[in-house]
Amino acid sequence: MKDNPKVKEHLNSLGESDYLFTCPIVKGEILFGIARLPAGKRRQDLEQKANELFATVPCDPIPEDVGDGYAKIKIAAQQQGTPLDECDLWIAATALTLDAILVTSDSDYQRIVEVGLRLENWEN
């Protein structure tokens, strides 16, 4: 949602064999974040950016077997004593199950790499 030149550079460098998508949980988190903002220019700008994003990046359904990955990640996080937000767990489980790279700047996901989650931060 940020106008980050490095993110735009990564997006422009994706090849035809690369598949960029989001999932309903990420979409819901974005829409929730916007909806809780007070009415005004910032909210309108973010609504427009979100509409543009969702018009160009497909929102794929979550496969049933993501539940298996969710359980694996949640148990590992609890055993480490580092519980994570429920939405973050589901997002990570989706990426892990689909063997996708999770593109995020959220450092909380670093705690999940032990189970094989692949991360990239395009803001750096």
Nearest to 90 by CA among 43, 23, 42: 23
Run of H or E including 119: strand 118-120
- Say what the pLDDT of residue 97 is: 93
Tell me the pLDDT tens digit for each residue of 61-78.
999 999 999 998 898 888
Q: Which residues on neighbouring strands pair with residue 59, listed in sequence order?
A: 22
The residue type of 47 is: E
Tell me the pLDDT tens digit for each residue of 34-50.
999 999 999 999 999 99
Residue 84 has pLDDT above 80, yes or no: yes
Q: Which residue did the predictor score with more confidence, 114 or 23?
A: 23
If pLDDT is split at 50, 70 and 90, which confidence band does 124 have? confident
Run of H or E including 118: strand 118-120
User: What percentage of the chain exceeds 70 in pLDDT?
Assistant: 100
Residue spans of the domains in the chain: they are: 5-120
Kindly report the CATH number that applies to the domain delimited by 5-120.
3.40.50.1010
Q: Which residue did the predictor score with more confidence, 89 or 3?
A: 89
Quote the distance between the C-alpha of residue 74 and its chain's center.
17
